[in-house]
Chain A
Amino acid sequence: MQKAIKKLPASVQKRTAPMAALVVALLGAGAFLQAKIDPVARKIHQSEQSIDQVSGGLNNEFMLLPLLGFREAAAGLLWVRCDEFFHSGDYDAILPLVRVITLLDPHAENVFVTGAWHLSYNFTDSNERSDRRYIAPSQALLDEGIRNNPAIPDIKFEKGWQNFDKTKNYTEAESALKDCISGPFHNEKGVKGSDDFPFACPLKTLHLLAHTYEKQGRIPEALEEWRKARERTESVMKEDEKNNKPLNYSNKQMWFAEVHNYDEDLQRYHNRYTTVKHDSINPSNPPQPGVLWPTGPGVANQPWDVVFTPTIEVKRPKVLRISGRFNSADGARVDVRITDWNYPERPLVDIKNSFKVDMSQTILVDSMAVRKGAFDRELDMSKDPKMYSFSQPEYKIVLSYNPRTTSPHLTDRFGWSGEGITDGNKGHVYLDAREPLLGTALIAGQGATGPIWDGVTIPWAEHTQPVRMIAVTYRVSRAQMMGEKPITDADMVPTKL
């Protein structure tokens, strides 16, 4: 049977070819337009991870949203869940969420900052000591956040703060803070419309950088930073005055702090290092630098001998009692650091999928207060096997006193770089002369090799003063940590930080 052939109306037949041609032309125009859109779209989505990489950490209820293009909404809702977990104390549950959120929304700067803070500060043992294994992923998260958000100062500031406060790594802190101040255009100018515009960063960044220089014994640079901060505050106050704005007392207070800190640094430099008579602090005659101790008429002043005599007793497996003498004023702290012998100082971590840390690693960082020239502390690591697994054959115990991390009343005595400290046992004096740690030479000798700052030339950026620390290092076996053998002075090895 012959199949009926459908005949289209003439008008339809007539318009089909032009319409088809129009479709082809429009598709060409669309493709052309798409090629124009692509470069900008690539830039917008450049730091976003593809859905297949993110999907592993998402529940089904959250998976639909990114698939439909709602990455930020999914990220926002997950952040709400994080908040709930935080307030219910379920800290472990937060980590995978922070990872997924930052993959979904690489511009969620608050999540980078809060997530890194959470990693660095909130995982602790039963004595509130931080789990230092999380420092490396925390830093890696901040680095990722900075790469994704070069114009956001908050993440750079957080990196500076954590290195200043948590790890006392002032070299890293300085680098992060300088990057923060420099801003996205490297001219200290911020993005228009940003919180700190016309500046690239909040004022606190300059303050923290000045304190970082102080901690590094680089006083001329600290003074310069306080001066810059004061100038910035003055410019803001002048601008407010010009615009008839009421006096901002916060700015005024900042100004007072900047003037005070500038003066205080100069005063401390004067008291600690210059050769003047300092009445009760340094009653020497002739006058000598305040960080050196007068030993008698006609004899040059000397650094103070702290007579560091530590002993370590293993009370029970993983329980150490560390005690001894440290002849200094109250308030000094002897740092203790127990790690696997080969513990990498800054382990490389891959945080692409998670913030998991190597649970076989052991690290404890704590400090012991000195009272009446002595310290005594029991460190119980037996209650936290997940943090202190002691699964390696050998361990390093470093007991040290670092003048750069100590409080100001002790720095008055020992100097910013420990110029005024020594130990009768020369093996206990450790000069950390790694290049990034060198400070300004503020006093003759004491390990420095370069010229002395004259107290006038500002800035003085020649760094030649190593840190003079008091430190001892023990190399001990697992059996010793478990109390099967004692830890003695025979286990001491030369310190190498």
Chain B
Amino acid sequence: MVPLAIARQTVREALRRRVMWIFLICGVFLIALGPVFGFLSPKDSQTVLRSLGLAAILLAGLFITIVTCIYLIPVEIERRTIYTILSKPVQRFEFVLGKFLGGFAVVFINIAAMGVVFLMMIRFQEGKVPVDMFKGVYLTFFQMLLLAALTIFFSTFATPVLNFFMSFGIFIVGNLGSVTDSLTTSRNGTARLAGTIIHYLLPNFSNFNIQNTLIHPAQEITNPDVFIRQNILYALIYSAVLLILAVIIFDRREV
């Protein structure tokens, strides 16, 4: 239960960070702005509220995840508190896992808070909460889970500033899934190889972007539940890969 103890402590520390609260407040504020677009036609205002709400959750979640997770390990090393922890019967993999679970919990709390506000706004404007909107919120959560694992992986060897740019950069590349997918069938051999590596080896964040089908109810996904389960499994598998790699690196790191 060592990782859980570390996770609890991580959550406490993260919740003390003002920057996280600022992003959360910004996210909630953006979501709450939704009904302002009531001057548009009912169909348009519904589209704007939904798309803006999901985007606000994702955008705030993105910054909260990165800003929270980039500091989790470096701060312990910088303050030398890691010596105290590792001098106890705590394995390094337990430390990494604990930090990840802590970061994961913080992301969950934030996205859940924004999700509740978002669903309340939908209820307020549309008089009901479509099930699809839940799907949008929890797919965002799993997307952030994957991002948290990526950030923790980088934090085992990179400085926070470097980590920020690397995580953000890979998030953007990972969102260009349709581009990398088309590269996998490119006639140019180099482009095809690069596309295949990026598409299949780097975390593909665009898998979770199904906002369009959620916003426009006429657009349907074939077997949506299977597709969503596959995406959740994808997030879990890649998070596991990144955590194992983080443990392998952190095992070899001098602190």
Contact = CB atoms under 8 A, between A and B. Distances in A.
B47 A110 contact: yes
A44 B212 contact: yes
A311 interface: no
Contacts of A40: 221-223, 227
B237 A8 contact: no
A68 B181 contact: no
B255 interface: no
Interface stretch (A25-33, A328-336, A377-385): A25-33
A interface majority secondary structure: helix
Contact of B237 (A26, A48, A191): A26
Contacts of B251: 8, 12, 16
Given A77-B52, A110-B44, A69 B222 contact: no
Contacts of B176: 51
B194 interface: no
A75 B177 CA distance: 19
Contact of B207 (A37, A108, A109, A151): A37
B248 A16 contact: yes
A438 to B, nearest CB: 36
A69 B51 contact: no
Interface in B171-214: 171-172, 175-179, 181-182, 199-201, 204-207, 209-213
A69 B178 contact: no
B159 interface: no
B231 interface: yes
B218 A37 contact: no
A45 B182 CA distance: 12
Interface string B43-66: 110011001101110110010000
Interface in A17-65: 19-20, 22-23, 26-27, 29-31, 33-38, 40-45, 48, 50-51, 65
Contact of A68 (B62, B219, B234, B247): B62
Interface residues of B, number: 64
A194 interface: yes
Interface string B19-62: 00000000000000000010111011001100110111011001
B215 to A, nearest CB: 5
Contact of B218 (A43, A45, A80, A194): A194
B217 interface: yes
A375 B189 CA distance: 71
B75 interface: no
A34 B200 contact: yes
Contacts of A37: 204, 207, 227, 230-231, 234
B180 to A, nearest CB: 10
Given A30-B241, A72-B211, A110-B41, A80 B205 contact: no
A34 B59 CA distance: 24
A61 B48 CA distance: 17
A33 B206 contact: no
A44 to B, nearest CB: 6
B96 to A, nearest CB: 12
Nearest to A19: B244
Interface in B65-85: none
B240 A44 contact: no
Contacts of A48: 178, 212
Contacts of B247: 19
7 contacts: A19-B248, A33-B234, A50-B182, A70-B58, A73-B56, A76-B51, A152-B218
Interface of A: 6, 8, 11-12, 16, 19-20, 22-23, 26-27, 29-31, 33-38, 40-45, 48, 50-51, 65, 67-73, 75-77, 79-80, 83, 105, 107-110, 149, 151-152, 191, 193-194
List 9 A-B pairs, minimum CB-CB distance, nearest first. A73-B55, A72-B51, A76-B48, A70-B55, A31-B200, A69-B175, A107-B216, A76-B51, A69-B209
